[in-house]
Amino acid sequence: MTATATAASGPSALWFATRGAGVATLVLLTATLVLGISTSLRVEGRRTPRFVFASLHRNLSLLALLLLVVHIVTAVADPFAGIRGLDALVPFAGAYRRVWLGLGVLSAEGMAAVVATSLLRRRIGPRRWRLVHWLAYAAWPLAVVHGLGTGSDAQQPWMLGLTAACAGAVLAAVSARLLRGGWRTLPARGIAAAAAVATTVAIAAWTAAGPLQPGWAVRAGTPASILSAPTPTPADRTGPFRDPLVGTLVRTSSGQAEVSLRDAADPSLTIVIMPPGPAQTLPEITVERGATTLCHVPARAGTSFYAVCGAVRLVIALTGAPPDVGGTLTASAPLR
């Protein structure tokens, strides 16, 4: 992630939750759409009757809505981007990446309308229900563009791969749907196919020219106050972190290995791993910040070292060829 993107994403646990829930919502929305199309095509397997597809479709849509609520609530609760409750309800009302966030709001409202009218289907009748249900086809590409335009992970290969996989699944399902039907519906199906192809090409071209280019955080409309915020330092940490370690391994007079490590991202943090003393069975870990000892605790050793320093869980993984060793420190909370 670039410094700008880091600044724009912030290190808080709420922001990580927003991102995770956003990705999960997109995946569930995709699965819901594909299952919905399978239901309308009356797909069934040898061992999977049609009602299984229908009930999975219904249950996944409810789960997607639940995750969407988590996504929105955590985005609003996180103070970093300054997204207000109103910005999550009124499309294009917010200052943070206005257009791309606004498309997410439109998508969410479309999704909420589809789920709500499905729950009220008996009352509103099949015609009105079906009309609203078409919104699902619009909500999906809007969510994709929102995710790529707003998300901190849009440039990551895993996010691009996941989005491409979701797009492939939806395109395959939509193609199957459009290939089914008589002559009477051929013109409408032809128009829908052209719209699907045009939308796919447009989103791919926009992704290449926009979110994948350097400087997207600025062009996407990230407020200047956030862009100019200093890149968070380890001292600003509020949640779990993972840092690279560098150090050396020396042999004690009794031939046992003793490892001294420094946190490469937070150099005032040092870690020493001592072999067990004569009356001990476990190695000892000492964590120091500057001249202050934060803890001196026993560690379980497997492929990595596990220890609890105060209330912070630590995993220290070592790599490299002695005497030069490196590795990573994963901690459940800041070490202060």
Question: Which of 116/194 has CB closer to ligand HEM?
Answer: 116
Residue 111 engages ligand HEM in binding (rule: CB under 6 A): yes
User: Are 221 and 96 spatial neighbours (Cβ–Cβ below 8 Å)?
Assistant: yes
Q: Which stretch binds ligand HEM (CB under 6 A): 16-24, 180-188, 209-217, 271-279?
A: 16-24
Q: Which stretch binds ligand HEM (CB under 6 A): 20-28, 165-173, 301-309, 314-322?
A: 20-28
Residue 114 engages ligand HEM in binding (rule: CB under 6 A): no
* Per-residue burial over 150-186, b = 16 or more CB atoms within 10 Å of its CB, e = otherwise: bbbbbbeeebbebbeebbebbeebbeebbeeeeeeee
> What is the radius of gyration, based on Cα positions, of the chain?
26
* Per-residue burial over 192-210, b = 16 or more CB atoms within 10 Å of its CB, e = otherwise: eeeebeebbeebeeebeeb
Please pick, from the candidates 31, 33, 34, 68, the single residue that binds ligand HEM as defined by CB under 6 A. Answer: 68
Write the CB contacts of 250 (distance below 8 Å, at least 6 apart in sequence): 257, 258, 260, 323
Compute the least distance from the CB of residue 229 to ligand HEM, in Å: 14
Please pick, from the candidates 7, 11, 14, 25, the single residue that binds ligand HEM as defined by CB under 6 A. Answer: 25
* Cα 65 to Cα 146: distance, rounded to the nearest angstrom: 16
Draw the binding track, 144-183, toward ligand HEM (x: CB under 6 A; -: no contact): --xx--xxxxx----x------------------------
Residue 143 engages ligand HEM in binding (rule: CB under 6 A): yes
Question: Phi/psi at 78 (nearest 5 deg)?
Answer: -75, 120
Residue 107 engages ligand HEM in binding (rule: CB under 6 A): yes
Which residue's beta carbon is nearest to the bound ligand HEM? 151
Question: Which of 76/261 has CB closer to ligand HEM?
Answer: 76
Q: Pick left, alpha or beta for residue 105 (phi over 0 → left; psi -120 to 50 → alpha; otherwise beta).
A: alpha
Please pick, from the candidates 34, 71, 222, 270, the single residue that binds ligand HEM as defined by CB under 6 A. Answer: 71
Residue 104 engages ligand HEM in binding (rule: CB under 6 A): yes
Residue 331 engages ligand HEM in binding (rule: CB under 6 A): no
Compute the least distance from the CB of residue 217 to ligand HEM, in Å: 10
Question: Which of 70/176 has CB closer to ligand HEM?
Answer: 70
User: Are 314 and 329 spatial neighbours (Cβ–Cβ below 8 Å)?
Assistant: yes
Report helix, strand and coil shares of the chain as percent, to nearest 5: 55, 20, 30
Q: Number of residues interacting with ligand HEM: please give it, by CB under 6 A.
A: 31
Strands (E), the chain: 241-251, 257-263, 269-274, 284-289, 292-298, 300-301, 305-309, 312-319, 324-331
Nearest residue to 331 (alpha-carbon basis) of 220, 229, 201, 237: 237
Question: Which of 7/273 has CB closer to ligand HEM?
Answer: 7
For 245, the token pair is: 């370690």
3-state secondary structure of 318: strand
Please pick, from the candidates 7, 19, 32, 241, the single residue that binds ligand HEM as defined by CB under 6 A. Answer: 19
Question: Phi/psi at 61 (nearest 5 deg)?
Answer: -65, -35
Supply the DSSP symbol for 274: E
Question: Which of 35/111 has CB closer to ligand HEM?
Answer: 111
Question: Which of 31/273 has CB closer to ligand HEM?
Answer: 31
Question: Which of 104/247 has CB closer to ligand HEM?
Answer: 104
Question: Which of 4/38 has CB closer to ligand HEM?
Answer: 4
Interface residues with ligand HEM (CB under 6 A)?
Answer: 9, 18-19, 22-23, 25-26, 29, 68, 71-72, 75-76, 81, 83, 88, 101, 104-105, 107-108, 111, 143, 146-147, 150-154, 159
